[in-house]
């Protein structure tokens, strides 16, 4: 298998109206100083749109595991699912907001924060994010210019309501190119 076979794009994952409502809601609820990549920990999981988003991420994960059957055995060995440890996806959602000029440099999801934590505290962090097996992105809008997503040296032009999912390890470095016009909104989830 090629490394890129583990990167899956799913169009039309989330209804466009729900995407618009999530962005509208985020702009109302989050102070301007919070419009940075952040976890959705201050937003109620009871909100209809966020329930839809959590369910969509859950479905994306299941579709991914069906598309990559050879990966499933190894995935279940480390995910905790074999031990009936359930994953609270609604607690793992993270807003990714990039205004004009915004971008994020090349990085790997499950190691950068772990490395910084270990350097500072001289111990391993005890959070699921730092031991994520999969990274999932749901794209909430496409009315901006630039802001292309690049993973494993492959550039993806995404559309509103689409999703990308890939392993969260050193083989899948990724970045967001500079947004040249408009605002780019997406939701990320680090899954085990």
| Per-run averaged pLDDT (10 residues), the chain, 192 residues | 89 94 82 57 64 89 85 65 63 84 86 62 56 88 96 93 92 94 91 79
Cα–Cα distance measured from residue 180 to residue 153, given in angstroms and rounded to the nearest whole number: 20
Cα–Cα distance measured from residue 159 to residue 171, given in angstroms and rounded to the nearest whole number: 25
Starting from the edge strand earliest in sequence, which strands make up the sheet with 149-151, in order? 104-107, 174-176, 149-151, 154-156
Q: What is the pLDDT of residue 17?
A: 94
pTM: 0.84
Q: What angle do CA 147, 94, 142 make, to 5 degrees?
A: 30
Domain ranges of the chain: 3-191
Q: What is the pLDDT of residue 143?
A: 97
Q: How many CB atoms lie within 10 A of CB 187?
A: 25
What is the torsion angle, in degrees rounded to the nearest 10, for the CA atoms of residue 48, residue 99, residue 59 and residue 108? -140
3-state secondary structure of 107: strand
134: β partners: 167, 191
Tell me if 131 sits within 8 A of 192, measured CB to CB.
yes
- In words, the CATH class of domain 3-191 is mainly beta
Cα–Cα distance measured from residue 64 to residue 130, given in angstroms and rounded to the nearest whole number: 21
31: β partners: none
Which residues have C-beta within 8 Å of that of residue 136, sequence separation ≥ 6? 57, 60, 61, 163, 164, 165, 188, 189, 190, 191
Cα–Cα distance measured from residue 129 to residue 133, given in angstroms and rounded to the nearest whole number: 9
Ramachandran quadrant class, 171 (left: phi over 0; alpha: psi -120 to 50; beta: rest)? alpha
């Amino acid at each position: 298998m090629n490394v890129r076979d583990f990167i899956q794009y799913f169009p039309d994952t989330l209804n466009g109206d729900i995407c618009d409502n999530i962005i509208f809601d985020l702009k109302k609820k989050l102070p301007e100083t919070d419009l940075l990549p952040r976890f959705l920990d201050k937003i109620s999981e009871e909100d209809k749109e966020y329930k839809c988003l959590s369910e969509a991420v859950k479905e994306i994960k299941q579709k991914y595991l069906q598309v990559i059957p050879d990966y499933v055995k190894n995935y279940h060995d480390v995910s905790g699912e074999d031990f009936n440890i359930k994953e609270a996806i609604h607690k793992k959602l993270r807003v990714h907001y990039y205004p004009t000029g915004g971008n994020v440099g090349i990085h790997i999801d499950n190691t950068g924060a772990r490395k910084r934590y270990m350097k500072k505290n001289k111990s391993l962090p005890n959070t699921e994010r730092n031991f994520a097996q999969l990274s999932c992105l749901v794209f909430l809008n496409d009315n901006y210019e630039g802001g292309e997503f690049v993973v494993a040296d492959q550039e993806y032009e995404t559309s509103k309501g689409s999703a990308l999912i890939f392993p969260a390890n050193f083989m899948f470095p990724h970045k967001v190119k500079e947004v040249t016009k408009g605002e780019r909104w997406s939701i990320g989830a680090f899954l085990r």
